[in-house]
Structure 1
Amino acid sequence: MKTKVAFVCIHNSCRSQMAEGWAKHLGSDVLEIYSAGTEEYHEVKPLAVEVMKEVGIFMDDHYPKLLIDIPEEVDILITMGCGVICPFVPCKCQEDWGLEDPSGGTIKEFRKTRDLIENKVKDLIYRVRNNYI
């Protein structure tokens, strides 16, 4: 059985979308992956889509989702560092990755965030595969 992981931020328009993309690309064999936001938003940030495309991860069909769009309970809940509090999402493990939001920044800032998320997702997958979480 796969470990259910949800990446959550406020709008589900940038960081949590990149985390979902990386997790599906690198760990879909061990993870059942979701992302969501606590507030509605109209699009995934175009620069997030662009920088992920640079590394071969295509998010053209991604769209912002809300917490009601993911399972009621997950194994791992990861917030991106935007002060999101999700007491109503039951989980076995919760982490906050403390990532700065590149929204409104340059493509260089989006690339930096993309690369930070890649490393965090790789670490998460390693810990899941080795039963550390």
Structure 2
Amino acid sequence: DIEYHKVKVNGVPTQTYSSSGTPYDAEDVMHELAEQCAAYRPVGQYAKPIWLGSATTPSCKTTGTVVSSFTNSEDAKSLLIFLFGEVCTITRYEDCAPIWYCKKCGSIHHSTVTSRNSDRCKTCSVPTADHDTHNH
């Protein structure tokens, strides 16, 4: 197995367009990085870079975050970069499981399927027999 180190490239401008007039995708951003930053060229990349967030995130924000993986921990730590005239920072990326909550009572300690609690308002925890969440 290859050891790799995931990082986030924060503050990447999303309103920058390629010569064809389309917004850059995550791979274009990493290609630009290789052209602009000599220190990046010899860096071993492990996985295809992706935008963090939904597919529409880059188009609705002025900056975004690209997640990339490096094969060398020093490469992952040492990059402070400029992309498209903006300072971008590199921070460690940590995978974490999504937090699921019970749709009946709002607890994060169990799922809706295993809940033994009665339905509750998600805003104030009053039982929904008295009122519902959308009545606030």
TM-score by length of 2: 0.25
Higher helix share: 1
Larger radius of gyration: 2
RCO (CA 8 Å, sep 6+): is it higher in 1 or 2?
1
